[in-house]
């Protein structure tokens, strides 16, 4: 659980309404270098084996998305990154067996800049620096496709 935000809003007859309960986050990193973006080929679960994703992972309890991403990219790629402002858009994931009353799990994407190290696939099958054209033709996991148009525009700048 990464945040329990309660916003106070004037509503007739009420003092406050809860607009967002606890949200769990999966943070994905968009690492751009030299007109290409880093994608990683998943090895598991079987349904995603062989598909490409923006590397990242689940935030642990009390961890923000950016902090989780920094940790995950260190674990998975062996690099130290600086995480930027989150990209527009998010995808609600459907974790099997979500606890009653628990909030949604959201996939969010953040730009990340490598500060130290060179990415190595320690948990993925392979890494690839993808061009705008690669993003269109390579099999990405469905969830990550949301960011393809924005990234293609960025890579073609």
Binding site for ligand CDP (CB under 6 A): 26, 28, 48, 53-54, 56-58, 93, 107, 141, 143-144
Tell me the closest approach of the beta carbon of residue 142 to ligand CDP, in angstroms. 8
Geometric angle at alpha carbon 62, from 113 and 83, rounded to 5°: 10
Tell me the closest approach of the beta carbon of residue 107 to ligand CDP, in angstroms. 5
Pick 57 or 155: Cβ nearer ligand CDP: 57
Contact assessment for residue 2 and residue 97, using Cβ atoms and an 8 Å cutoff: no
Distance CA 8, CA 113 (A): 35
Pick 141 or 154: Cβ nearer ligand CDP: 141
Geometric angle at alpha carbon 128, from 124 and 134, rounded to 5°: 125
Pick 28 or 83: Cβ nearer ligand CDP: 28
């Amino acid at each position: 659980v990464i945040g329990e935000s309660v916003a106070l809003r004037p509503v007739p007859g009420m003092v406050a309404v809860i607009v967002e309960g606890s949200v769990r986050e999966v943070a994905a990193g968009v690492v751009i270098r030299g007109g290409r973006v880093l994608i990683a080929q998943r090895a598991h679960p079987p349904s995603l084996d062989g598909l490409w994703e923006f590397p990242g992972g689940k935030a642990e309890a009390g961890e923000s998305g950016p902090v989780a991403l920094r940790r995950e990219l260190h674990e998975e790629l062996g690099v130290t990154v600086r995480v930027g402002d989150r990209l527009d858009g998010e995808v609600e994931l459907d974790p099997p067996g979500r606890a009653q009353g628990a909030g949604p799990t959201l996939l969010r994407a953040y730009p990340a800049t490598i500060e130290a190290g060179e990415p190595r696939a320690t948990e993925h099958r392979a890494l690839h620096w993808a061009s705008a054209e690669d993003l269109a033709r390579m099999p990405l996991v469905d969830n990550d496709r949301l960011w393809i148009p924005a990234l293609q525009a960025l890579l073609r700048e």
